[in-house]
Structure formats: structure tokens, C-alpha cells
């Protein structure tokens, strides 16, 4: 017999999942992107699409937002709760340094710019969450909040 309770529970308690990628080039510079729909510089990333794994989404976002391909497996750096997006959003952060870097993409409907920056010379409007993840990458204690 069909019960609507699991479906209702999922609708009421569903979780959203996003990905971000902390990618470094051979010089140790960090890849950041600037979106059209949110202020500041962020790691490349976005939502995981239906039927897509988190790693597939991370690789897709690198290609779409920065024209960068990750070679080899991505490393999961952490999974973070993002209370600012509906109270049920989580972000998986991947890391990679094995990159094939294409030409910087031109501005489009989603991306204003994508570029690599030295960790000690980031844009002044780098997002707070991105700065926290960079600090953790450099040895600061980790948090479970995006």
C-alpha cells in the first residue's frame, strides 16, 4: 500500500546540496570567480543537478565557470551546513591542484570574471565563507558552517 508520508517528509525536510572547489594552479594561486547574481569573489561551484554526483557537479562547475578541467580525482575537504540558504543547505568543498587551465572565459549571464590570485593578495571583496575556507586550508581550525 502506498503511503504519502515519506514524500511529505522529504518535501518538508528536504536537503539541498551544493559544491565548491578550492583549486590551485602550479604557482599556488587560488581560482576564484565573480558571479553576476551575488557580490564578491567565490570558489567555483553551484548546485548538484538531478542524477549527478557531487564530484560530477564540481567538475562541471569548474568547466562552466572558469574553463578549467581537474585531472584525476578531487579530494573532499569538508561538508558544511549553510544556514543562509533555507536552513537545510549543505556545501561539499573539494580540493584539487591538478588542473588543465584554458583561457579565461569571457563575461556571460552567470560569470563576470574568473581568475587566479595569490593567497596573500586576494580581492578585497572575497566572500567571508571563501576566506574561512582559505584560512582552514592554511591551517586554521575547521568549522562545520559554510
Distance CA 80, CA 34 (A): 21
Distances (CA, A) of 93 to 13, 32, 77: 23, 14, 5
Per-residue confidence (pLDDT) for residue 67, from 0 to 100: 97
Tens digits of per-residue pLDDT, 11-29? 555 789 999 999 999 999 9
What stretches in the chain show pLDDT beneath 70? 1-13
The candidate with the shortest Cα–Cα distance to 47, out of 105, 37, 39, is 37
Do residues 36 and 105 make contact, with C-beta atoms less than 8 angstroms apart? Answer: no
| Stated pTM of the model | 0.88
Per-residue confidence (pLDDT) for residue 104, from 0 to 100: 86
Which helix or strand (DSSP H or E) is residue 26 part of?
none
Amino acid at each position: 500500500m502506498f503511503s504519502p508520508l515519506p514524500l511529505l517528509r522529504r518535501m518538508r525536510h528536504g536537503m539541498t546540496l551544493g559544491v565548491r572547489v578550492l583549486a590551485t594552479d602550479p604557482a599556488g594561486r587560488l581560482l576564484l570567480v565573480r558571479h553576476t547574481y551575488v557580490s564578491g569573489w567565490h570558489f567555483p561551484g553551484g548546485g548538484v543537478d538531478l542524477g549527478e554526483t557531487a564530484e560530477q557537479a564540481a567538475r562541471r562547475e569548474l568547466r562552466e565557470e572558469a574553463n578549467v578541467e581537474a585531472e584525476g580525482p578531487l579530494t573532499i575537504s569538508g561538508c558544511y551546513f549553510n544556514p543562509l540558504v533555507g536552513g537545510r543547505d549543505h556545501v561539499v568543498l573539494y580540493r584539487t591542484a591538478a588542473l588543465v587551465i584554458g583561457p579565461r572565459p569571457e563575461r556571460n549571464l552567470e560569470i563576470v570574471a574568473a581568475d587566479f590570485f595569490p593567497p596573500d593578495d586576494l580581492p578585497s571583496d572575497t566572500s567571508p565563507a571563501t576566506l574561512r575556507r582559505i584560512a582552514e586550508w592554511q591551517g586554521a581550525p575547521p568549522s562545520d558552517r559554510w
